[in-house]
């Protein structure tokens, strides 16, 4: 956030698609205190700073010790004995230049707390939690407690007596086009069948553009009752006018008010526990008591229970049983209490990453009033990470050794740490999840021994929009290879890391690098990829070489993790078809009714005008077989391609479209505007007049078909001129002609442009369905088309010249100076105006047309943490499928589903030799027979 209050869209690009501008503006006024700078505290601070609040103060009185290095990624061995907050300050400040970060090394008190809107306590006593919790509740300060002990975590929220949430889930309001509305009580609304309406019972909706029954357009919102996926009922419409045609129904988001109890009261209310693994209900109820008992133990003994100490575990369990005389839990998970005692001195980076991601998301909710807050307790455990054989949990000392891994050794022991050092892993991707995984790898010591190694590959280079969530990168790294910078960053975190950075794309072309020998030398693979195709390919390679795979992904506040274990679980599997999301070509070409349609149309225009045609010209100039190959397609397609090549090579004075000056580029852009937004629309209305009816007597222009109107060019209309400026500059670029942006001189050129008169033709046929379009392509061409092709072929034969080479443009959404998004926004909004579709701003256009995946650091951190908890299990060598977890989470609405992965599904795929194949089986078919 800048000093003027404007949001830095380049930096916050992907997060804005999660939170939106209004929520981020609210966040920019929030001052946040985070107390405790051990591993959990720094994880929360990192995520909150990246999110873009006004200020973050980190408070800690303590000094760095060896255990801190197990999970505090901004502390080094040179910081031992120094204050944790001060040692972390420089690195935290460098994460986000828009956030003021400061450190406080004094005692936590009420005077300090009054300076903040949100207070987060980590590594705190129960007495402090109650004292400061009561104070914050009374003063309207949002209060959060987060804690981790070994393999168990705790989270608590208190946002006051009345906390208003403006948007509970962050989802785009559902909308649908109307097919018909009955005049009765209740009125039945039937939506068009191009997609399901996605409304739910009781939700509020508003109507617009309804013709006939216009009374609905004036109603602020209406409650609905869903009847089917395409229909719903509303109130009494019997006294309304008769419905004629058209209309859009849109969900109206409602605010919600949440009521929180202060922590002292909430401790006694088991109904406030949010479950996340329904196989562990009794365990998490028990952990609610066990954490309280742990505070009592520390207060009495002035220390945490010793690792694997039976007597300390007995004392803790006795306290839990005493607390249960009041809580009256029907079932106590006493084994979990003992394990908590055995491992309480542990400090694990993956668990801190998960709980830290959740806690930071709650801070964002408190500051932005967006998304549903936690009410009010959450407990999490990953006790399955311990050895599957219970006798291995018997009493044995895990003494601190004065190493950076002491916090991990306190949970798993030295032998397990040595296993981690020896691991050889392949990490594919150094983006958001890749950076978080590398951080965890460095902290846990994966591949950090003499025999261990991490191979990292990522072909991308660092961009400004990456910095908001790919926290290993800084502004000075922009333009550098992601893999190299990420590898160097984690070697600073842990100098013992053995890591090699590659810049290879993982596909068939890199199989000479990542071959059989490479895969057989691995212990496992981690996927941090952003597309399904690459995941499927990597999954296939892992199945082929019988290697475990850790896979995770995010979409805004949603995330998933999957662990693939050879011979035990199903694999990621083949790509699922997404054909249901595709837009019919006839809709794009003639009948758009949503802004997504006009944006896709604009992208198609961009690709055709500024990329495909120049590429075809260059192929024609360099490839002697280009013309013959093109003639092998349908005559209509060959005419379009070769006609485009000819016109691109012949200057305008000779009847072509090749410019020789900047003025020619402006002339072309103006004429293109006329063709797209006036002539084509007039031709469409000539074929299908406004009052046309179908064979059944219904209006042709109804339902999902919006009746368009032609536009009249106005050089003083901002959008009209923006189109011409962007189109002319892009047209100049593909011919190597320098452009300009001065609107005054542009208008002078436009005054001299002659626009030819257009008359619609009755011979033009416009297809109503994609099937009709395909049938048209398949028909035999007439003599006229064949004659035109022969003529074109002769003309092109005399045009070859290397001096005529063109410069195709690859679409790049994140460069605001290249005219790409300028063109897309103007082209789309003009077409939207043609069809009376509400226009959208540049930010929304960029997200849709650029196919941007919404992303936020909190979800990324949580997903990477869960993946690394599964990594522990793989290194342990777990053989029970019940030990592993597949996760689906949505931090926006506190949705957590952690479940046992599915076993491999038996199937047969018989090759020519008749050999059956079963996934992970001996008869697995690896190559085509």
CA atoms within 13 A on the CB side of 790: 6
Task: Give one DSSP letter per residue of 188-201, joined into a string.
Answer: EEEE-TTS-----T
Question: Which two tokens mark 373?
Answer: 């807050």
Which residues, 6 or more positions from 78, have their beta carbon under 8 angstroms from its beta carbon?
A: none
Q: Which residues contact 407 (CB under 8 A, 6 or more apart)?
A: 39, 67, 68, 69, 70, 71, 345, 346, 347, 348
DSSP β-ladder status, 377-381 and 273-274:
parallel
What is the distance of C-alpha 46 from the center of its chain? 19
At 721 the three-state DSSP class reads: helix
> Is the CA virtual torsion 384, 387, 388, 389 positive or negative?
negative
Nearest alpha-carbon partner for 360 in 48, 808, 800: 48
CA distances from 645 to 43, 65, 736, 782, 923 (A): 56, 70, 17, 22, 52
Query: What is the distance between the alpha carbons of residues 99 and 461, in angstroms, rounded to a whole number?
Result: 25
- Residue 866 is encoded by which pair of tokens? 């869960």
- CA 8 to CA 687: how far, in whole Å? 47
Q: Catalytic: 586? A: yes
Q: Which residue in the block uniquely carries the two structure tokens 């006036």? A: 678
Write the CA distances from 535 to 16, 224, 528, 538, 542, integer angstroms. Answer: 26, 41, 9, 5, 10
Q: Which helix (H) or strand (E) holds 18?
A: helix 9-19
Sign of CA dihedral 123, 127, 132, 133: positive
Contact 145, 263 (CB under 8 A): yes
Q: Catalytic pick from 586, 671, 687, 743?
A: 586
Q: Which residues contact 686 (CB under 8 A, 6 or more apart)?
A: 760, 761, 762, 764
Torsion of CA 357, 358, 363, 368, to 10 degrees: 100
Nearest to 642 by CA among 650, 630, 625: 630
Can you list the alpha helix ranges (DSSP code H) found in 94-223? 110-113, 126-139
Longest dimension (CA), the chain: 98
Exposed / middle / buried, residue 783 (Cβ in 10 Å: 0-12, 13-18, 19+) = exposed
Q: List C-alpha distances in Å: 736 to 16, 227, 824.
A: 35, 59, 21
Q: Where are the alpha helices (DSSP H) in 623-714?
A: 626-631, 635-649, 662-674, 680-687
Among 90, 145, 155, 156, residue whose Cα is nearest residue 119: 145
Running DSSP on this structure, what letter comes out for residue 272?
G
**What distance in Å separates the CA atoms of residue 456 and residue 430, rounded to the nearest whole number?**
8
Residues annotated as catalytic are: 586
């Amino acid at each position: 956030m800048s000093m003027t209050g404007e949001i830095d869209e380049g930096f916050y690009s992907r997060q804005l698609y999660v939170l939106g501008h209004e929520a981020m503006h609210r966040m920019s006024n929030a001052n946040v205190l985070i107390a405790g700078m051990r591993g959990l505290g720094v994880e929360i601070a990192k995520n909150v700073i990246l999110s873009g609040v006004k200020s973050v103060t980190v408070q800690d009185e303590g000094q760095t010790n060896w255990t801190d290095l197990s999970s505090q990624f901004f502390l080094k061995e040179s910081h031992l004995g120094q204050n944790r907050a001060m040692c972390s300050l420089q690195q935290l400040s460098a994460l986000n230049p828009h956030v003021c970060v400061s450190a406080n090394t004094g005692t936590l008190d009420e005077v300090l707390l009054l300076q903040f809107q949100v207070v987060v306590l980590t590594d705190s006593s129960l007495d402090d939690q109650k004292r400061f919790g009561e104070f914050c509740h009374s003063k309207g300060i949002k209060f959060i407690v987060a804690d981790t002990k070994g393999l168990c975590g705790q989270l608590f929220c208190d946002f006051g007596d009345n906390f208003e949430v403006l948007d509970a889930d962050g989802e785009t309001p559902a909308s649908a086009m109307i097919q018909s509305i009955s005049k009765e009580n209740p009125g039945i609304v039937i939506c068009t069948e191009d997609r399901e309406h996605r409304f739910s019972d009781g939700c509020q909706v508003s109507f617009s553009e309804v013709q006939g029954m216009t009374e609905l357009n004036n109603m602020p919102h209406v409650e609905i009752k869903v009847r089917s996926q395409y229909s719903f009922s509303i109130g009494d419409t019997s006294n309304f006018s008769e419905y004629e045609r058209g209309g859009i129904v849109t969900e109206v988001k409602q605010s919600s008010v949440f009521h929180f109890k202060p922590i002292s009261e909430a401790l006694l209310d088991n109904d406030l526990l949010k479950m996340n693994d329904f196989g562990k209900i009794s365990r998490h109820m028990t952990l609610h008591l066990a954490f309280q008992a742990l505070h009592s133990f520390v207060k009495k003994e002035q220390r945490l229970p010793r690792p694997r100490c039976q007597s300390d575990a007995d004392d803790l369990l006795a306290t839990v049983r005493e607390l249960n005389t009041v809580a009256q839990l029907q079932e106590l998970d006493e084994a979990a209490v003992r394990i908590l005692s055995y491992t309480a001195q542990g400090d694990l980076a993956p668990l801190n990453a998960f709980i830290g991601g959740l806690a930071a998301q709650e801070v964002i909710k408190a500051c932005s009033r967006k998304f549903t807050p936690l009410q009010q307790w959450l407990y999490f455990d990953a006790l399955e990470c311990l050895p599957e054989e219970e006798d291995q949990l018997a009493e044995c000392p895990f003494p601190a050794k004065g190493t950076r891994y002491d916090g991990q050794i306190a949970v798993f022991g030295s032998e397990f740490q040595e296993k981690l050092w020896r691991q050889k892993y392949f990490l594919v991707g150094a983006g958001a999840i890749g950076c978080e995984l590398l951080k965890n790898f460095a902290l846990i010591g994966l591949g950090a021994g003499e025999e261990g190694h991490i191979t990292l590959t990522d072909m991308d280079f660092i961009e400004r929009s990456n910095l908001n969530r790919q926290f290993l990168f800084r502004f000075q790294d922009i333009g550098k290879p992601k893999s190299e910078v990420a590898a160097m960053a984690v070697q600073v975190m842990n100098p013992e890391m053995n890591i090699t950075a590659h810049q290879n794309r993982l596909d068939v072309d890199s199989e000479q690098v990542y071959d059989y020998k490479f895969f057989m030398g691995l212990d496992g693979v981690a996927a941090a990829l952003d597309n399904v195709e690459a995941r499927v390919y990597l999954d296939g390679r892992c199945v082929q070489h019988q290697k475990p795979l850790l896979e995770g992904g995010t979409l805004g506040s949603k995330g998933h993790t999957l662990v693939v274990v050879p011979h035990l679980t199903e694999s990621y599997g083949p790509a699922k078809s997404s054909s249901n999301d595709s837009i019919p070509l006839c809709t794009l070409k003639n009948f758009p009714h949503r802004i997504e349609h006009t944006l896709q149309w604009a992208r198609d225009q961009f690709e055709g005008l500024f990329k495909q045609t120049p590429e075809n010209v260059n192929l024609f100039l360099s490839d002697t077989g280009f013309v013959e190959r093109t003639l092998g397609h349908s005559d209509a397609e060959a005419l379009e391609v070769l006609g485009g090549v000819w016109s691109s090579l012949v200057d305008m004075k000779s009847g072509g479209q090749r410019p020789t000056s900047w003025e020619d580029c402006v002339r072309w852009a103006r004429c293109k505007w006329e063709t797209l937004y006036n002539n084509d629309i007039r031709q469409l209305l000539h074929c299908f007049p406004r009052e046309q009816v179908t064979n059944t007597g219904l209006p042709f222009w109804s339902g999902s078909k919006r009746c368009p109107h032609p536009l009249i060019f106005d050089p003083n209309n901002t959008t009209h001129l923006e189109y011409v400026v962007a189109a002319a500059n892009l047209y100049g670029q593909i011919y190597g002609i320098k452009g300009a942006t001065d609107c005054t001189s542009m208008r002078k050129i436009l005054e001299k442009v002659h626009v030819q008169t257009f008359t619609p033709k009755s011979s033009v046929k416009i297809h109503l369905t994609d099937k009709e379009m395909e049938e048209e392509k398949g028909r035999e061409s007439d003599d006229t088309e064949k004659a035109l092709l022969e003529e074109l072929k002769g003309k092109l034969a005399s045009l070859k010249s290397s001096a005529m080479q063109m410069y195709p443009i690859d679409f790049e959404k994140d460069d605001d100076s290249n005219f790409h998004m300028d063109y897309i926004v103007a082209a789309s909004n003009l077409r939207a105006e043609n069809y009376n579709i509400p226009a959208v701003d540049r930010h929304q256009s960029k997200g849709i047309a650029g196919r941007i995946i919404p992303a936020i650091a909190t979800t990324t951190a949580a997903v990477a943490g869960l993946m690394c908890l599964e990594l522990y299990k793989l290194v342990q060598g777990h053989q029970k499928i019940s030990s592993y977890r597949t996760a689906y989470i949505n931090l926006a609405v506190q949705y957590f589903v952690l479940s046992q992965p599915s076993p491999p599904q038996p199937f047969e795929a018989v090759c020519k030799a008749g050999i059956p194949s079963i996934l992970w089986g001996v008869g697995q078919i690896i190559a085509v027979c």
